[in-house]
Amino acid sequence: MQTVITENAPIPGGHFSQGKIFNNILYTAGQIGQNINKEMQLDSIATEVNQIMRNLSAVAEAAGTELKNTLKTTIYITELQFFKQVNEAYKVFFPENPPARSTVVVKDLAVGARVEIEAIIAIL
């Protein structure tokens, strides 16, 4: 098992890793819309999702893979009304052959985030 750490995504503030690799599969921690300076990008849901996906991409790159190899994502949103906006922003990153996905409405997310996404990504 290998731990993934990159300075190109926000360094966790809690006791967890950005990602773990096991058997050529990357399991990422959930990412929120913070940039590397830990500033939340809350201009819109699309802005938040775009930052999240950049963070996931940076973790994937540090693990030697890329987003196009994503097998599954789990998306957490604080309001069901965000579903359509999240979906529109998300599909830009997976224009063809999107990964399996679950979307879950939750009460709250860390530091005022409205969206959090975690991923399982193959390392090919």
Task: Residue 120: count other Cβ atoms within 10 Å of its Cβ.
Answer: 16
| Residue 122 confidence (pLDDT) | 98
Locate 58 and state its tokens. 């940076």
What is the pTM for the complete model shown?
A: 0.96
pLDDT tens for residues 39-65?
A: 999 999 999 999 999 999 999 999 999
Provide the pLDDT for residue 13. 86
Which domain covers residue 98, as residue numbers? Answer: 2-122
Q: Which of 76, 71, 74, 61 is nearest to 19 (CA)?
A: 61
Structural domain count, the chain: 1
pLDDT bucket at 29, cuts 50 / 70 / 90: very high
Q: What are the tokens at 123?
A: 């390392």
- CATH number of the structural domain spanning residue 70: 3.30.1330.40
The amino acid occupying position 111 is V
